[in-house]
Amino acid sequence: MKIEFGLIKSICLVLVVFVWSSSIYSQNSKIDSLKQLLQNNIRVDSKKVDLLNELSFSFRRSNPDSLLKYAKEAKNLSLKLDYNSGQGRSLFLQGIHAFDKHELDNALEYFEKSVSVYSSLHDYDGLADCYFYLAKVSYLQEETLGTLEYCKKILDVIESIESCFMKAYFLNFVADMYNFHHHYQRAIEILQYSIKVSITNEQDFTLGRAYMILGISYYRLKNFPEALVYFNKALDLYDTLEDSRDETVSQDKAVILKYVGHIYIAQGRYDDAHIHLNLALQIFKKYNNYRNIATCIANTAVICKNEGQYNGAIALFEEAIVQYKKHNMKTNMFSSLISLGDIYFLRGEYQQSQQTFKDAIALHKEIKRSSAYPYLGLSRIDYAKDNYKEALKKALISLDIIEKNQEIEHKEEIYEQLGFTYAKLGMYEEAYKNKLRYIALKDSIDNKEITRRIAELEAEYKYKDKIKSAEVREKDLNQKVLESDRRLIKTQNQKLLAIIGVLLLAVITLVILFVSRVRIVKSESKNILAEQKLLRSQMTPHFAFNALANLQGIILNKEYPKSLEYLSHFSRLLRLTLENSRNQMVLLKDELLAVESYMEIQNLTTCTPYVFEVILCKSVDPSTLWIPPMLIQPFVENAVEHAFMEDNHDKHITITLSFVEDKQLKCCIRDNGIGLNSLHKNDTSSKKPLATQITTERLNILSKILKTKSNISTVDQTKHNKKGTLVTLLLPYKLALNDFHFNCRR
C-alpha cells in the first residue's frame, strides 16, 4: 500500500512540474518568436511598433522592466512615424506598468493620455481597456464618483467592442463596481445582459463570473436563497472548465466560498461559516491575495464576537485592521472599527469604545461618506453614563444620517434608543411615538425575516443535494484513478471483481444515504409546517386589534404612564413570541415569561383581573430545562377566551409543573371556569380546537425526534364536583443544548 501511495505521489509531482515547465516554456517560446519577428523586420514602420507593443505586453508577468523598456521604444518610434494607434497602445502599456507597481497617480496620467489618443481615432476597444483600468485606479483610491463615471463610459462604448469575450468581461466588471457602491438593482440588470452575451457566444468563463457577481448582488440584498442558487451555478460551471485550477478561477471559487461563509454567519451557522472561510483563506494565501485574506480574518472575528469570544474577536479585528491600513482599505477598516467599538461597549469599557467609534467617524470623513451607526454607538455610551441629553443629540444625528442616505439598516435600533432616551428625559409623548415606530418597523422586519427563513430552508436542501452530488462525483473520480493503477498489477478477472464490488458498495451506500436523508427531510418538514400553523393561530389579528384599541383608549384618557406600561408589556409579548417561534427549543423560563406577559396584558384591560399562578415542584428548574416553544400558551389563551362568563368575578388559572414516573415532565393547566360540557352546550360546533389539534401533531413529531414520551389530556372537572377544566401535557424536554438530536437554529 505504501509503494502504491508513493508511486501516485511521484506521478502527481511529475505532472505538476510538467505543467509548470510547459507554461514557462510556452511563455518563453512566445517571447522568443516575437523577438525573432522583430529582428526579421528590418523596415522601420507601424508593423515594428505593433511588434514592440506586443512584446512589451508579453513581459507583464515575467519581467516588468522589459515591459517598460519595449513600451517606451514603441512610443518613441510611434512619434517619429506619427502612428497614433501605436502611441495610444504604448501609453496604455506604460500605465499597466505603473498600475502593477501600485503607482496609481502615474498610472492615471498614462491612461488618460491613452484615452486622448484613442478618442481621436474612435478606437472603442482601446477606450474600453483604458476606462477599465481608470475605474480600477479610482476604486483603489476609493473615489466613488470617479469609479462610477468610468463605468458609465465603459457602458457607452460596450456595443462597439468587437470581442464578445471582452464585452461580457467588461460588463461583469462594471456590475461588480455597481455592487460595491450599493447600486444592486442596476448591477443585476447589467449581469442579465452579460449572461445573455456569454450564453449566446458560449463563453463559459465570463458566464461563471456573471453568476458569481449576481450571487453577490442578491447577497447584498439579503436574498440568501437566490444568492446560493447563483453561487452554486458558478461553482458547477467553473468545475467544467479545462483550466478549472487556473489562478483566476481558483480565486473566484475562493470569493464564492467567502460569501457563502457570510451567509452562514447571517444565519447563525457558525461551524459551517468557519469551514467555508478557512477554505477561502487557504486559497487567498496561496496567491498572496492580502485584501481578501484580511476580509476572511475580519469575518472570523465576527463569528468570535457573535459567539461571545470577545478576546479572540479583538485580536482578529486588530490583525485585520493592520492589513486594511497597509493596503489602504478604508471602507473595510471602518466596519472592523465599528465591531470593535461594539465589543468594548459590551465589556463595559466605555472610554475605549467611545474612542473607537470616534476613529470610525473620522475615517468615514476621509472617504467622504457618512454612517449612522458610530453615532448610535456614542449615544448608547452616553445613555449608559446617564448623560441623557448628549445621548439624545447623538441619536438624532444618527437618525438624520439614516434618512438622508435612505437606509433601513439599524433604523429600528435608533427608534428604540430614542424611545428610551426621551422617557428618561420625561418627554413621554416623544418616547411613545418612537416606541410605536420601533414596534412597527421591527414587526415588518420580523415578518420579512420569517418569510426569508422559510425560503432559505428550501434553498438549503437544494444546496446540500448539490454538495452531495459533487462529493459523489469526486469519489467516483478518485475510484477511477485507483482502478487505473490496479490494472497495471492485477489480472483481468481481479479487475472485474474489484469493479463489481466497488460499484455494489457505492450503490448500497447511496441507497442508504438517500433513504436516510428523505426520512430526515420529511420529519423536519412536518415539524416546520406544524410550527408555522401554530404561529399563525397565536396572537390573532383580533387580539392585536383589541389590544391596540385598548391602548388608544388609555392614550385618549391621557394616562401616559399607564400607556407606556401597556405598550411595554405588549411589545415584550410580541418580541418573546417571535423570538421563541424561531427556535426549536427554548428555556422553560422564557416560555413561562411569555405566558406571564400575556396574562399581564389581559389583566390591564379587564375589570375583574385573573388570578394567575405558576407552581413549580422542587425538582423543576426552569433555567436548565429546554422545551419546544409555544406548547403551554395556546391552552392558557383558550382558558381566557372560553372558560369564564362575563359576570364571573372569581377567575383562577394555575400552571403546575412537576416530574412524574420515568422522569417525564408534566404540565397541568387548571381553571375554575364553566367546564367543557357547558362550553359544548353553548358552542354547537363539533370541531376540535385548532390549537389543541396542532399542538398534538407537533408533540407526536417532536417525540420521535427527541425520543421522549408526550401526551395531551383534557378533563372536565365538573364530573368530579369541581369547577373548570384540567389540561395535562407530557412535555418533551432536554437538560442541555448538546443533548439535542437536531440543530436548535432553523
DSSP 8-state assignment for residue 687 = P
pLDDT value at 270 more than 50: yes
User: Which of 72-76, 299-303, 488-492, 705-709 comes out lowest in average pLDDT?
Assistant: 488-492
pLDDT of residue 720: 77
pLDDT value at 701 more than 90: no
How confident is the model over 216-229, as a mean pLDDT? 90
Residues 6+ apart with CB under 8 A from 598: 573, 633, 636, 637
Residue with the three cell numbers 383581573: 609
DSSP 8-state assignment for residue 583 = B
Q: Report the b/e string of 264-281 with b at 16+ CB within 10 A.
A: bbebbbbeebbebbebbb
Q: Model confidence at 155, in pLDDT bands (50, 70, 90)?
A: very high
> Are 213 and 176 spatial neighbours (Cβ–Cβ below 8 Å)?
yes
* pLDDT tens by residue, 613-642: 999 998 899 999 998 888 888 888 888 888
Phi/psi of residue 617, each to 5°?
-70, 160
Query: 208 to each of 214, 231, 495, how far by Cα in Å?
Result: 10, 9, 39
Integer-rounded Cα radius of gyration of the chain: 34
Q: Model confidence at 660, in pLDDT bands (50, 70, 90)?
A: confident
Grid coordinates in use for 668? 397541568
552 CB-contact burial (10 Å; exposed 0-12 / middle 13-18 / buried 19+)? exposed
Residues 6+ apart with CB under 8 A from 228: 215, 260, 263, 459, 460, 462, 463
Give which of 116, 99, 100 is closest to 108, Cα–Cα: 99
Give which of 394, 388, 358 is closest to 376, Cα–Cα: 394
711 CB-contact burial (10 Å; exposed 0-12 / middle 13-18 / buried 19+)? middle
pLDDT of residue 15: 37
Q: Would the CA dihedral through 107, 108, 111, 112 be positive or negative?
A: negative
- Please state, in angstroms and rounded to a whole number, the distance separating the CA atoms of residues 305 and 295: 15
Q: Of 612 and 722, which is predicted with more confidence?
A: 612
* pLDDT tens by residue, 20-41: 344 444 456 667 776 676 666 6
74 CB-contact burial (10 Å; exposed 0-12 / middle 13-18 / buried 19+)? buried
Here the contacts of 472-479 (C-beta below 8 Å, separation 24 or greater) are 472/510, 475/506, 476/506, 479/506
Q: Average pLDDT over the chain, rounded to whole?
A: 80
- Please state, in angstroms and rounded to a whole number, the distance separating the CA atoms of residues 122 and 714: 86
pLDDT of residue 487: 61
> Are 694 and 537 spatial neighbours (Cβ–Cβ below 8 Å)?
yes
Grid coordinates in use for 372? 449612522
Query: 165 to each of 73, 171, 246, 521, how far by Cα in Å?
Result: 30, 10, 17, 42
Q: Which amino acid is at 549?
A: A
> Are 673 and 643 spatial neighbours (Cβ–Cβ below 8 Å)?
yes
pLDDT value at 354 more than 80: yes
> Are 456 and 449 spatial neighbours (Cβ–Cβ below 8 Å)?
no
pLDDT of residue 173: 93
Give the chain's count of helices (H) and strands (E): 28, 7
- Please state, in angstroms and rounded to a whole number, the distance separating the CA atoms of residues 735 and 226: 37
* pLDDT tens by residue, 367-387: 766 788 899 999 999 999 999
The pTM of the full predicted model, rounded to 2 decimals, is 0.51
- Please state, in angstroms and rounded to a whole number, the distance separating the CA atoms of residues 361 and 375: 8
pLDDT of residue 216: 92
